[in-house]
Amino acid sequence: MRISNRLVLSAMAGINNAEFCMSFPAGLVILGGFNADLMAMEAARKVVARGRKEFLFDSPIEGIESEVAKISGRKVFAVNVRSSSLNGFLDVADIVRRYGGIVEINAHCRQPELIEAKCGMWLMKHPKDLFTIVKETSAIAPTGVKLRNSENCVEVAKLAFEAGAVYVHVDAMIPGGLCDFEVVKRISQLGITIGNNSVNSLEMAEKMAEVAHLVSAARAVLKDRFFFHKLLISPKLAEPFEFSIDLRKTDQISKA
Ligand SMILES: Cc1cc2nc3c(=O)[nH]c(=O)nc-3n(C[C@H](O)[C@H](O)[C@H](O)COP(=O)(O)O)c2cc1C
């Protein structure tokens, strides 16, 4: 599978629906984050109650499928998912298999309500659970993992690749606002990476492209709808990227 350039639109809960994602020229766009089971959805409702954006659906799986159906065949996409249960991840992997995308397991979210519901960063503290999830979803659909820079981040990335992840998406934030390029570089030696955090200029994007295979941005796109257009003047960022995965829609469970 070839993506048209090395840019990735990073997940933003309550913002990255199909319509929003389709409006950017990034080679890969990430829908969500979505909450795949009722416990995760309950946590998301609490997050909304204190003023943050989330996608709220009465039926989480139907809501996720309706967004995926709109983008399928039009953009190369991944779906960022939080879930309290293995089944939630498996349900989304099944949707992604049918519509031809990548499921991105969210081990990144730090909202306390979601961590309490065993979602997001909870998985970084429970790498064995993350390993099981990635192994199981990888048997259904191509699986990526979103991690946050932390003490055990390289170790967790290694486990994710061993479990079958096709990429690790690293939010390399250093508390205090800087970005840890070194940790991205180390993970890039283990497998395909998407480097993330503070990519807010052409210079930062090119710097990230030195250490990661793909480069993602979230907040910069909210500030400037033409941010990705501006990055695409760089030959380094505009070059296509070959993934050794097959994203064709399939009714067969992949044995790859
Ligand atoms: C409003 C908002 C919502 C976000 N929601 C999610 C999410 O649901 N899942 C996720 O993995 N990351 C989420 N993120 C994190 C971004 O994907 C990204 O990792 C982070 O903002 C750092 O990248 P940036 O410096 O390019 O913004 C969110 C970020 C913002 C600003």
pLDDT of residue 246: 74
What is the residue extent of each domain of the chain?
Answer: 2-242
* Cβ 199 under 6 angstroms from ligand 1: yes
Q: What gap in Å lies between CA 217 and CA 195, rounded to an integer?
A: 9
pLDDT of residue 251: 56
Phi, psi of 218 (to 5 degrees): -125, -70
User: Which is the closest atom of ligand 1 to the Cα of 146?
Assistant: 11
pLDDT of residue 249: 64
- Annotate 16-35 with three-state secondary structure: ECHHHHHCCCCCEEEEEEEE
Q: Write out pLDDT tens, residues 89-141.
A: 999 999 999 999 999 999 999 999 999 999 999 999 999 999 999 999 999 99
Burial-class residue 170 by CB neighbours within 10 Å (0-12, 13-18, 19+): buried
Give the three-state DSSP class for 140. Answer: coil
pLDDT of residue 253: 42
Average confidence (pLDDT) per 10 residues, the chain, 256 residues: 96 98 98 98 98 97 98 97 98 97 98 98 98 98 97 97 98 91 98 97 98 98 98 98 77 42
For residue 255, the CA-to-ligand 1 centroid distance in Å is 32
Residue having the nearest C-alpha atom to atom 12 of ligand 1: 11
Tell whether domain 2-242 is in CATH 3.40.50.2300: no
